[in-house]
Amino acid sequence: MSDTAAAQPSEIRTRQRVKKDAMMSIEQVSKEFDGTYAVDSVSLEIYSGEIFALLGASGSGKSTLLRMLAGFEQPTSGRIRLDGEDLTGMPPYKRPINMMFQSYALFPHMTVEQNLAFGLRQDRLPRHEIKSRVARMLDMVQMSKYARRKPHQLSGGQRQRVALARSLAKQPKMLLLDEPMGALDKKLRTRMQLEVVDILESVGVTCVMVTHDQEEAMTMADRIAIMDEGRIEQIGSPIDVYESPKNRMVAEFIGSVNIIPAHIEADEEDHMVLSAADLPVPIYIGHGVSSGIDDRDMLFAIRPEKTILCTEKPDGEYNWAQGTVSDIAYLGGHSVYHVRLDSGLVVQTVLANTERRTPRPTWEDVVWVSWDSDSGVVLRN
């Protein structure tokens, strides 16, 4: 993934609409199922107007956390507050929160119109009010033509729009999205991601989404929380979590990364030097790790696209490695090279295919991989 291209729109969005006041606060929330913690004392704040993504593999507890926000599960301990009001223990039908389900959960026996009106009818709004609101929602998702159809007569993308409109019809304080693109194929997914974000922005609703797809989280969300085994590993903007991962789990979960065990030789204010058994020369990093650490065995993490592949030995006494090409994945826009170092460690590097059919390194060629002094990050082991 090209990190800058994906992250920029969300940065612009962050500046425009997110006010940094906590709309929802989740305080020390845990959920226990039969002795194991699906969610383990999670605390976080969601700002009003932002799109917040819970990202994690299946079984990481992200869905359980979302279901607790919706009220379908009760936390074993902890509090959930929305605008200062304690939601813990409140049944789902009383919460000012609506959810778009992964399967969309459109009522099969009702038309599109009746689906949208369902929530408004429960609030006993006057008939003309319901009618005009449904019409407005249909217009917003461009489904007015299909008002009288049943869900099974719609395509996947159309169903998603109806589901989105239905969850927004009651003007909830907060919208929950459960794997919003999970039921769509890849082409449609990229288009709907931007379309959904546009709609959410125009409505200005605060939104929490759950996804296992990092690309989706980075495209749509202002902030991302990475979850693993019921805990939150890191919270930050897409750029934060990609460029400054806090630990190995986050670094490996988001995008691909080369992890090289290294030992701190020198740690100064403006630079540090690490030695690695897998590399012929030391690693030089243009900043120091401020706190004094007793354990000097660290991990050096560097993304493939931040390394340079060359066919000649680089100058300098730092930051390069020598090896042979063991695998090439040609992906059109760029190629991923797997380079086997002399130590046996395989590192990935990316070569952008900026020219057509120029000679490139091929299998078993001897190549060098190098990087800048500020390209990698040091992680605690």
Partner 1 sequence: MKSLTFTRCMFWFGILFLYLPMVVLIIYSFNAGRNVQVWAGFSTHWYAEVLRDRQLIAALWRSLRVAFFSATAAMLLGLLASIAIIRMKRFRGRGLLSGMVTAPLVMPDVIIGVSLLMLFVSLQQAIGWPAGRGLNTVFIAHTTFCVAYSTVVISSRLRELDESLEEAAQDLGATPVATFFLVTLPIIWPALLSAWLLSFTLSLDDVVIASFVTGPGATTLPIEVFSSVRLGVSPKINALATMIILAVSLVAFTSWYVTRRIDIRNRRLQVQYLKEAE
Residue 93 touching partner 1 (CB under 8 A): yes
**Shortest distance in whole angstroms from residue 91 CB to partner 1:** 7
Burial 110-129 (b: 16+ CB within 10 A, else e): ebbbebbbbbbeeeeeeeee
Residue 122 touching partner 1 (CB under 8 A): yes
Residue 153 touching partner 1 (CB under 8 A): yes
Greatest C-alpha distance within the chain = 77
Piece of 28-36, 104-112, 205-213, 214-222 that binds partner 1 (CB under 8 A): 104-112
**Shortest distance in whole angstroms from residue 23 CB to partner 1:** 19
Taking CB under 8 A as the criterion, the residue among 46, 99, 165, 379 binding partner 1 is: 99
Residue 188 touching partner 1 (CB under 8 A): no
Piece of 23-31, 149-157, 213-221, 240-248 that binds partner 1 (CB under 8 A): 149-157
Residue 123 touching partner 1 (CB under 8 A): yes
Taking CB under 8 A as the criterion, the residue among 49, 119, 238, 245 binding partner 1 is: 119
The 3-state DSSP class for residue 268 equals: coil
d(CA 175, CA 49): 10
* Pick 114 or 324: Cβ nearer partner 1: 114
* Pick 31 or 166: Cβ nearer partner 1: 166
**Shortest distance in whole angstroms from residue 200 CB to partner 1:** 17
**Shortest distance in whole angstroms from residue 28 CB to partner 1:** 24
**Shortest distance in whole angstroms from residue 105 CB to partner 1:** 4
* Pick 29 or 175: Cβ nearer partner 1: 175
* Pick 175 or 254: Cβ nearer partner 1: 175
**Shortest distance in whole angstroms from residue 193 CB to partner 1:** 22
Q: Which residues contact 53 (CB under 8 A, 6 or more apart)?
A: 208, 209, 210, 211, 216, 217, 220, 221, 223, 224, 225
Residue 98 touching partner 1 (CB under 8 A): yes
Q: What share of the chain is helix, strand, coil (3-state, %, to 5)?
A: 30, 35, 35
Taking CB under 8 A as the criterion, the residue among 3, 30, 118, 328 binding partner 1 is: 118
Burial 253-267 (b: 16+ CB within 10 A, else e): bbbebbebebebeeb
DSSP letters, 122-168, are HTT--HHHHHHHHHHHHHHTT-GGGTT--GGGS-HHHHHHHHHHHHH
Question: What does the radius of gyration of the chain's CA atoms come to, in whole angstroms?
Answer: 25
Burial 140-178 (b: 16+ CB within 10 A, else e): bbebeebbeebbeebeebbbbbbbbbbbbbbebbbbbbb
For the sheet with 77-82, list strands across it. Answer: 36-47, 22-33, 77-82, 85-86
Taking CB under 8 A as the criterion, the residue among 35, 84, 108, 359 binding partner 1 is: 108
Helix locations, the chain, DSSP H: 3-17, 62-70, 112-122, 127-140, 156-168, 186-203, 214-220, 238-243, 248-253
Q: Residues 161 to 180: which contact partner 1 by CB under 8 A?
A: 166-167, 170
* Pick 4 or 122: Cβ nearer partner 1: 122
Taking CB under 8 A as the criterion, the residue among 149, 248, 340, 360 binding partner 1 is: 149
* Pick 63 or 193: Cβ nearer partner 1: 63
Residue 101 touching partner 1 (CB under 8 A): yes
Q: Which amino acid, residue 212?
A: H
Q: Residues 261 to 300: which contact partner 1 by CB under 8 A?
A: none
The 3-state DSSP class for residue 5 equals: helix
Could you report how far apart the first and last alpha carbons of the chain are, in Å? Answer: 26
Taking CB under 8 A as the criterion, the residue among 51, 55, 70, 272 binding partner 1 is: 70
CA 217 to chain centre: 3
Q: Are 87 and 256 in contact (CB under 8 A)?
A: no
Piece of 25-33, 92-100, 347-355, 362-370 that binds partner 1 (CB under 8 A): 92-100
Give contact residues for partner 1 (rule: CB under 8 A).
70-72, 91-94, 97-99, 101-103, 105-109, 118-119, 122-123, 149, 153, 155, 166-167, 170
